[in-house]
Amino acid sequence: RLFDLDPDLLPLFQYNCKQFASPQECLSAPEFLDHIRKVMLVIDAAVNHLENLPCLEEYLCNLGKKHQAVGVKVESFSTVGESLLYMLENCLGTAFCPDMQEAWTKLYGAVVKAMQRGWDALPEGD
């Protein structure tokens, strides 16, 4: 769903300098699937540290810096969040109630805000 929502994100996913010709080619690439696993590990860490999200602050800020360095825009994370909610709704069906949607939205928003602080941070030495 990510590339349906924003086809302009496709060029950001380049592995070994390979540009994908289509979203389908990217979605089936082992490197992209590995990237998705990493995204889910970040979500898993946030869920497991729900009571103490500040302990992930430095990690998430650095992750934000890495994303900024490869040209990702902060605004792109809203598309990723929308895709995450879409996936959860489709996988959970009627169990994905409004309260659950609100909880996931808040959790994802907290992760993105911490990553965004990586964009906002001054480079070391400044």
User: Is 52 a member of any domain?
Assistant: yes
Per-chain mean pLDDT for the chain? 90
User: Is 125 a member of any domain?
Assistant: no
User: Is 116 a member of any domain?
Assistant: yes
Give start and end residues of each alpha helix (H) in the chain.
2-5, 23-27, 30-48, 57-69, 76-92, 98-120
Measured from the Cβ of residue 94, the count of other Cβ atoms closer than 10 Å reads: 6
Report the CATH number at residue 112.
1.10.490.10
How many independent structural domains does the chain possess? 1
Task: Report the C-alpha gap between 32 and 53 in whole angstroms.
Answer: 27
User: Is 1 a member of any domain?
Assistant: no
pLDDT at 47: 94
User: Is 30 a member of any domain?
Assistant: yes
User: Is 60 a member of any domain?
Assistant: yes
Global pTM reads 0.84
User: Is 126 a member of any domain?
Assistant: no
pLDDT at 18: 79
User: Is 2 a member of any domain?
Assistant: no
Q: Domain containing 29: what range?
A: 10-120
Q: What secondary structure letter does DSSP report for 52?
A: G
Q: What percent of the chain has pLDDT over 70?
A: 94
Task: Report the C-alpha gap between 80 and 57 in whole angstroms.
Answer: 20
